[in-house]
Homo-oligomer: A and B are copies of this chain.
Amino acid sequence: MRRGPFHRLNEFITLTQEELNAFRGMTSATLKLSRDEIVRAQGDSVTELYFVIDGWVAASVGLPDGKRQIIRVHLAGDLLGAPSLTLPRAMESLVALTPATVDVIPLQAFGELFNRMPRLAAAMFLTSQKERVALIDRIVSIGQTKALQRISAFLLHLHDRLKLIDPRIDKTFELPLMQQQVGDLLGMTMVHVNRTVKAMERNGLIHRKGRCWTLRDIPALRELSAIPERNFVREPEWLFTPRVEQR
């Protein structure tokens, strides 16, 4: 059975082949990116959306003083750049963290989708809500918890998402982020990330070997993280279910 990024489109609503084709049909180009290559920079005018086929892509915001906040790490099946649809110029930079493949979606094509493909539009809407859940969880994590808890929450969140893409993943995965970038993501310095991670290794919570991280005690990490595991709905019955079929 083919495994691929298009599974993620079916996350909330099972789409028809026609709908999936319409989605793929929006693509105007496919970018092959190498590590650190910029898909679109903060401040660029907004003319496209992007869809991750494979690889990791970071969305980040730079500050006037040179600091940088990584907003989100995007994986295969994620739609990129949607928040900036509301702005004349992009609020975030999109940068490949690994070699990556990204489809380009012109805005015109995306706009037509609301008219032509209501179920696809609803799927995009729900996907955006899922992104909001992730952003909210991060606000909670950064706003209310300490370094150890933040790192636990981050590792678990990533682990959950990677399993969604490839269920074969067990407790170990490759993390193509430098500790500097983990810091930028969690609102702490690289130095403090390192100290905390080392402590987690000593406590037997995790194990690391290069960029390979192993979650050795997932229940303990979950307890620490203060953020519950998020189990999302499938096929919500309020969408595209004629009233007559309701009891």
Stretch from A80-88, A173-181, A205-213 at the B interface: A80-88
**Is B119's CB under 8 angstroms from A114's CB?**
yes
Contacts of A144 in B (CB 8 A): 63, 67-69, 187
B226 touches A140 (CB 8 A): no
CB-based contact B86/A232 at 8 Å? yes
The CA of A92 and the CA of B139, in the complex, are separated in Å by 13
Show 11 residue pairs from A and B whose CB-CB distance is below 8 angstroms, ordered by the A residue.
Answer: A63-B145, A69-B144, A83-B136, A85-B236, A86-B126, A91-B136, A108-B241, A111-B240, A135-B135, A139-B139, A142-B142
| A231 at interface, CB cutoff 8 A | yes
Q: In the complex, which residues 44-73 of chain A have their Cβ closer than 8 Å to any Cβ of chain B?
A: 61, 63-65, 67-69, 71
Q: Choose among B114, B145, B230, B246 the residue that contacts A121 (Cβ–Cβ < 8 A).
A: B114
**Do the beta carbons of B239 and A111 come within 8 Å of each other?**
yes
When all copies of this chain in the complex are counted, the total is 2
Chain B neighbourhood of A230, CB < 8 A: 87, 91
**Contact A125-B129, Cβ < 8 Å, known A139-B139, A233-B86:** no
Q: Which residues of the other chain, B, contact A115 by a CB distance below 8 angstroms?
A: 118, 240
Indicate whether A171 reaches chain B with its CB closer than 8 angstroms: no
Do A114 and B186 contact each other (CB < 8 Å), given the known contacts A87-B233, A133-B83? no
Which chain B residues lie closer than 8 Å to A68 at the CB level?
144
B87 close to A143 (CB less than 8 A): no
